[in-house]
Structure 1
Amino acid sequence: MEYRNYVIAAYAVFVLVLGWDFIASRLQIRRELRNARMRATRGAARRPNSELSR
């Protein structure tokens, strides 16, 4: 019984770290997708619209 508080604290830290890892990875995926969309938009804006302009 004397180790119960330490075990509870260890599980709490584990759950917090696991949650942070999940949230951080989701945020990173969202940021990378946004960057990819922005690169694609910039690339499309730079390309000529017709074959005659080459």
Structure 2
Amino acid sequence: MSYFKYVAMAYAVFFIVLAWDFIVPRLQIRQQLREARNRVVRAKRAAATPVEEELSR
């Protein structure tokens, strides 16, 4: 009886989990940085918009 398939599958699962632990945090950081940049841009736009005043003659 050979344990080759068992060992191969164990290594495959190990490398999949290792890749997942490597990739997912980077994706989450990129998403959070994008959201922070968007908030800054929105805040700058809101500060730059002129305040509406009533028209007077």
Length-normalised TM-score, structure 1:
0.72
Name whichever structure is richer in helix by fraction: 1
Mark the runs of 5 or more structure 2 residues left unpaired by the alignment. Answer: 49-57
Q: CA RMSD of the aligned region, Å?
A: 2.0
Higher Cα Rg: structure 1 or 2?
A: 2
> Which residue does 1:19 correspond to in 2?
19
Identity of aligned residues (%): 54
**Structure 1 gap ranges (5+):** 49-54
Runs of 4+ in 1 over 3 A off after TM superposition: none
Counterpart check, 1:7 vs 2:11:
no
| TM-score of the aligned structures, taking structure 2 as reference length | 0.69
Q: Which one scores higher on RCO, CA 8 angstroms, separation ≥ 6?
A: 1
